[in-house]
Amino acid sequence: MEHRISILFYIKKSKPNKDGLVPIFIRITINGRRLEHSIQRYVDANRWSAAASRLKSNNEEARLTNLYLDTLTSKVWKLEREMVQDGQLVDFDNFRVKWLGVTERPRMLIEIFQQHNDQMAALAGIGKEYSPATLERYNTSRDHVRAFLQWKYKIADIDLKKLNFEFISDFEFWLKTVRKCNHNTTIKYIGNFRKIVNICLRKGWLLKAPFLGFKMTKQEIERDFLTEDELETISSKDFGTERLNHVRDIFIFSCFTGLAYADVQKLKRLEVGRGIDGNYWIFTSRKKTDTRSRIPLLPLAVEIIQKYRDSPICENSGRLLPVLSNQKMNAYLKEIADVCKIHKNLTFHIAWHTFATTVTLSNGVPIESVSKMLGHKNLRTTQHYAKVLDRKVGDDMQILREKFGNKRNTGVETKTAG
């Protein structure tokens, strides 16, 4: 960040001492703000040159006084150089602390991280801006940074000014090797840490950006989803136990609405009503992104709502469906996958991806509509599912290619045999 410093020495004729001498003052202007004080030297006002900001004489007193003024000038430029070299923002407040010799307490990384998380916790506690899950991720990120400091430097905290590109690179290495995090999880933790660093940059506590040149690109991962046949197998299967049938119903409801577990679990009866087309819609907000979501209900989803209309749990709580804990849901879904001979790691999260791919995009629903129903803030997030379908198209065409290739080979063989 650019800065401007100028220096001026002047006398105050309105403040003579008992001997009639006037004090010399220094004025240091930093980015338009002035720092002024007496330098504890008194001179004859008639011997002062305002144009030169020096005493007009060749005697010993004048020589020593002017030498002192030169020393103060050198001190100003020396402090400026030191601040730049230390990566400290050269502004009025920081320079004033240096100039007046006030001991500046270093700003420590973990301390600032904790202050950020405390503020986040306060906002999450009153239902504003942040969810408990987001707070938990930032607390985990803070703990990872703290553990890294102990591993790398054997310290509990570190001065912000010591953060650099090497620190970030080493932190990434530690997350991947010591903590065994995969690439995308590593980038998530580093992204949380980067937010803290950016706050420090905006507040002027850091002059250089440690993340400059550091790549934060996530790797695209294959997201499992159910095919149309797999979806039909689960939805039509009678599992013989109320427990599995119950879990299946909630899972299928999510497959046909695109709601994540947290959204289904908190869904209220009041959030279902008639839409613009006269049919039933869900009007809710996504817990993860806090965005409004309007979802027209498909017939099977309506049937599931009707099935649990008289559930005591729903009647007492006002919730739309009696949803079990996420841990139990995922445990029972693995049983359902075994019974249906589906060789996928069946979790509740797959329902969300199934809605995006098999239920909507595969059936010609425009990607813009799918994006709105999923509560995505950016269309690019939804486009990932379209890429999945592109691969499916490629697989389907490969089957067709092989089919035509077999026919051609059969024709060649027959001709040869004849």
- Tell me the pLDDT tens digit for each residue of 280-312: 999 988 776 667 888 899 999 999 999 998 888
Assign 130 to helix, strand or coil.
coil
Torsion of CA 294, 298, 303, 305, to 10 degrees: -10
Q: What phi, psi does 281 have (nearest 5°)?
A: -130, 160
Strand partners, 36: 27
- Tell me the pLDDT tens digit for each residue of 73-128: 999 999 999 888 877 788 888 888 888 876 667 889 999 999 999 999 988 777 66
User: 277-315 burial string, b = 16+ CB within 10 Å, else e?
Assistant: eeebbbebebbeeeeebebebbebbeebbeebeeeeebe
Please check whether residue 138 lies inside any domain of the structure: yes
Please check whether residue 418 lies inside any domain of the structure: no
Structure pTM?
A: 0.56
> Is there a single domain that holds both residue 119 and residue 22?
no
pLDDT interval class at 207 (50, 70, 90)? confident
> Is there a single domain that holds both residue 284 and residue 242?
yes
Q: What radius of gyration, in Å, describes the C-alpha atoms of the chain?
A: 35
| Parallel/antiparallel/unpaired status of strands 272-274 and 54-55 | unpaired
**Which residues, 6 or more positions from 109, have their beta carbon under 8 angstroms from its beta carbon?**
145, 149, 157, 158, 159, 160, 163, 196
> Is there a single domain that holds both residue 178 and residue 263?
no
Query: Percent helix, strand and coil across the chain, each rounded to 5?
Result: 55, 10, 30
Domain boundary among 37, 68, 100: 100
Identity of the amino acid at 18: K
Assign 128 to helix, strand or coil.
coil
> Is there a single domain that holds both residue 155 and residue 266?
no
| Parallel/antiparallel/unpaired status of strands 5-11 and 48-49 | unpaired
Tally of structural domains, the chain: 3
> Is there a single domain that holds both residue 133 and residue 170?
yes
Instruction: DSSP letter for 356, please.
Output: I
In 340-378, where does DSSP find H-type helix?
348-354, 367-374
Rounded Cα distance, 352 and 256, in Å: 9
Q: How many CA atoms lie within 13 A of 213 on its CB side?
A: 8
> Is there a single domain that holds both residue 156 and residue 288?
no
Please check whether residue 72 lies inside any domain of the structure: yes
Mean pLDDT of all residues in 332-359: 90
Q: What phi, psi does 48 have (nearest 5°)?
A: -95, 130
Rounded Cα distance, 196 and 208, in Å: 14
- Tell me the pLDDT tens digit for each residue of 128-138: 677 777 889 99
Please check whether residue 235 lies inside any domain of the structure: yes
At which residue do the structure tokens 């209309």 appear?
309
> Is there a single domain that holds both residue 309 and residue 160?
no
> Is there a single domain that holds both residue 116 and residue 148?
yes
Please check whether residue 308 lies inside any domain of the structure: yes
CB atoms < 10 A from the CB of 125, how many?
Answer: 11
Please check whether residue 219 lies inside any domain of the structure: no
Query: Domain containing 258: what range?
Result: 228-393
- Tell me the pLDDT tens digit for each residue of 144-163: 999 999 999 999 999 998 99
Q: What percent of the chain has pLDDT over 70?
A: 89
Rounded Cα distance, 300 and 240, in Å: 20
CB of 7 closer than 8 Å to CB of 1: no
Question: Which span out of 13-17, 170-174, 321-325, 350-354 was modeled with the highest average pLDDT?
Answer: 170-174
Identity of the amino acid at 290: D
> Is there a single domain that holds both residue 157 and residue 297?
no
> Is there a single domain that holds both residue 263 and residue 361?
yes
- Tell me the pLDDT tens digit for each residue of 364-418: 788 788 887 877 766 666 666 666 666 566 666 777 788 777 666 655 444 444 4
Q: What phi, psi does 283 have (nearest 5°)?
A: -120, 100
Rounded Cα distance, 205 and 199, in Å: 9
Please check whether residue 415 lies inside any domain of the structure: no
Please check whether residue 221 lies inside any domain of the structure: no
CATH of the domain at 309: 1.10.443.10
Residue 133: the pLDDT is 77
Rounded Cα distance, 204 and 202, in Å: 5
Burial (0-12, 13-18, 19+ Cβ within 10 Å), 251: buried
Inform me whether the pLDDT recorded for 25 exceeds 80: yes
Q: Where are the beta strands (DSSP E) in 122-258?
A: none
> Is there a single domain that holds both residue 75 and residue 152?
no
Domain boundary among 100, 127, 154: 100
> Is there a single domain that holds both residue 55 and residue 157?
no
Domain boundary among 43, 72, 100: 100
